[in-house]
Each structure stands twice: as C-alpha cells, then as structure tokens.
Amino acid sequence: MPDVLPLIELAAPTLGEAERHALAEVITSGWLTMGERVRAFETAFAQLHDVPDAVAVSSATAALHLALAAHDIGPGDEVLVPSMTFVATVNAVVAVGASPVFVDVVAPDTPHLDLADARRRLTARTRAVVVMPFGGYAMDLTAWRAFAEEHDLVLVEDAAHCAGTSAPTGVHGPAAFSFFTNKNMTTAEGGMLLVPDPDRRERARRMRAHGMTASTLDRDRGRAVGYDVVECGHNFRMDELRAALGLVQLERLPEWNARRRELSAHYRAALAAELPAVTVPFTAEHPTTAHLLPVLLPAGTDRAAVMAALRAAQVQSSVHYPPVHLFTAYGTVDPARKLPRTEEFGARELTLPLHPALTTGDVDRVVATLGNALAVQHRV
C-alpha cells in the first residue's frame, strides 16, 4: 500500500505536561470556580499588553457583550460593524439590543473596516463602532480613535485574533480577546476584556457575575459577608481550570507568535516564487500576531474544488469568513446594502494551515499541493 501522508492541520493547540500539571493542581485544590488563578491570569494578561488590568470571561463573545453593555449601548442605538468577521462580532451587538450597520472593507488585499465607508454610514443613532484586526494584522487604531472622538462613539476592538500583540490595544477603547481552541493561545473556551476606563472596567467585572458586589471566593475567604446586586448582569465568568491553562499558555505566547510570523514569511516567499497569482493580504512588514494565513485565489477559481483537492492530499483549509451580511439571520438588516469589496474577499479567500508546530517543509508541501489543485483548473 502507498504511504499515507501525515495530516497537516489547519490549526492545532500546543498542549503538554505543563498544562496537564496546572489542571491537576486546580483539581487537587478543590476550588474550581472563579478564584485566585483567574485573578492571576487577568494580571498577567494585562501586564503582557501593558495596560492596568483585565477582566477574564467565558468567551470573546461575552467580552464583546460586556464591552458594549458597560458603555450603555442598547436598544435604539446603531453600531458600525464589519461583515468580514466571525458572526459573534455582530451577534454581540444584537444581544445588547442595538442594531448592526455593516461597513465595507478597504480592499480585498486589506480586509479591514474602511474608515471612509464608516463615515458614510453614520446617522444620529450611531453610538459605537467595532473594528476587527483581521487575522491578527494590526489596524490604525489612532485614526479610528480620532473618528470615534469626533462623533462621540465608543470604539470597540474585536481583538479575538490578537493575543500577545505588540501594537497598543485596550488603550483607545475596550478590546475583546478569544482563547478558543484554534487561537494563538487557548483555554479551550474563554476570553479577556481590556477596558481603559477604570469605572467601566469595574462595571464589566460586576456584570460578568450577575451584577453582584462580592464573589463566591470573597465570601468563602471571609472578605465579604453577603452581597448586593446593583444591576442586571450575566454568568460570563471564567473558571479556575481555564485560568490555569491560560497562565501556562501565556508564558509561551510571545515565542509562538514569533514562530507564526516566521512561517508566514516563508509562506509569502514560497507563494511569490511558485504561485504568483495567489496573493497574501497585507504586506510582509505589517505588524501582526499571525493568527491566520489567508490567501486570495485567482478570480473565478472553484474554491470548493481546491479545498477538496487539498483535503484529499491531507492538507486542511478553511474560509475566514463568509460575510455576515449574507447570512440568513442578517440578510434583512439592510437588504439593499452592497459590500462589494467584502464580497470579493469573501469569495476568493482561502485560509491555509498556520500554527507553531508546522515546519517550513510543511509550508512547502501546502504550497505545492495548492499549486497542483489550481493547475487542474488551468488557473495558474
């Protein structure tokens, strides 16, 4: 029988003995819910991103929800949002009772929210704007901060792809991070919220736990007797097991992000040499955490056929993302609204494997396999 090539995974968490030991310590301690490890994780994450503090939560979606709710965004308000994002970005807006307003991207090779189009979409009801640094590629948050201040808007960063970024984040407005399994670091599920305003930050901290003024740990350790509920909140808490994972993963995050950037550079060089018709968005010098390796296939390519050919050759791939405004749930938000650049990017984008366990040989194999798949269609 012919040898079967090993599978090249799209994304793979790096887990080992340190994570196993950290989880065992939590179980041995007997304290599983939000406690001292969660607080330690918040502190360490804040220090890594050079901000005063952080709020650990159950997911990035929860972080986005709290970012909006803690700034009183709700019914009757409009929020400018990207369509080129994971649907959670927009779901969070709807969850607080506000209305999403979709904005186009700059260009297919720069899938970031377009500031000029955002200006055109402003109305008297616009209260916030959510930006999403696609794939971990940094946005010009200074320009967006100026735009937000000019129009008295809350600037929210969906930083789900950006853990460990060297670009300032959580400074210009609230920023929500994800620790889902496919992210640069993982707690399986989980997220983190950075809020520059200390009062809003503490409000978000209360709202993640039902609006209560004291936690279970505070009462158990005698730091509080009873509690008050000062507003309606949610159960968006992180537990000690996830925080323990996060503390271990966070230590290696800078190393992993550096490796992702090295692999991305190798992809760019290999694609430029072997498949010049396939381009990588952004520039090689663009600051990034390198969460994703997106490419743009030549116009007219049968992407499904390419993905099937990759899969047959033991190479995983994906699409990031189907535009949100084309989903059934959001198709009636503004049915006359067209987002041509978003739609072109969404039709041509293909995500290739990228994670620290890959070798440069794996990257070369992915590029060669992609070339074979495209050659069948006589596109390159």
| 243, 38 Cβ separation under 8 angstroms | yes
User: CA–CA separation, 278 vs 12, rounded Å?
Assistant: 24
User: What are the φ/ψ torsions at residue 360 (nearest 5 degrees)?
Assistant: -65, -30
User: CA–CA separation, 86 vs 254, rounded Å?
Assistant: 24
pLDDT at 380: 46
CA angle 230, 100, 182 (to 5 degrees): 85
pLDDT at 347: 97
Can the peptide bond before residue 321 be classed as cis, meaning omega within 30 degrees of 0?
yes
CA dihedral 83, 86, 89, 92 (to 10 degrees): 120
pLDDT at 169: 84
Q: Is the dihedral of CA 97, 102, 106, 107 positive or negative?
A: positive
Q: Which of 65, 121, 161, 183 is catalytic?
A: 183
| 49, 98 Cβ separation under 8 angstroms | no
Biggest CA-to-CA distance, the chain: 72
In a 3-state reduction of DSSP, which class is residue 268? helix
pLDDT at 172: 87
| 231, 210 Cβ separation under 8 angstroms | no
Q: How is residue 325 annotated by DSSP?
A: G
CB-side neighbour CA atoms (13 Å) of 317: 28
pLDDT at 228: 84
| 378, 298 Cβ separation under 8 angstroms | no
| 28, 202 Cβ separation under 8 angstroms | no
For residue 183, indicate whether it is catalytic. Answer: yes
| 197, 172 Cβ separation under 8 angstroms | no
Residues of the chain short of pLDDT 50, as ranges, are 1, 380
User: CA–CA separation, 366 vs 352, rounded Å?
Assistant: 8
| Bridge partners of residue 130, in order along the sequence | 156
All structural domains of the chain: 17-248 (3.40.640.10), 254-376 (3.90.1150.10)
| 262, 275 Cβ separation under 8 angstroms | no
> What is the rounded end-to-end Cα distance, in angstroms, of the chain?
32
Q: Which two tokens stand for residue 225?
A: 């007797």
Angstrom distances, CA of residue 40 to CA of 7, 218, 252: 37, 15, 16
In a 3-state reduction of DSSP, which class is residue 277? coil
Q: How is residue 189 annotated by DSSP?
A: S
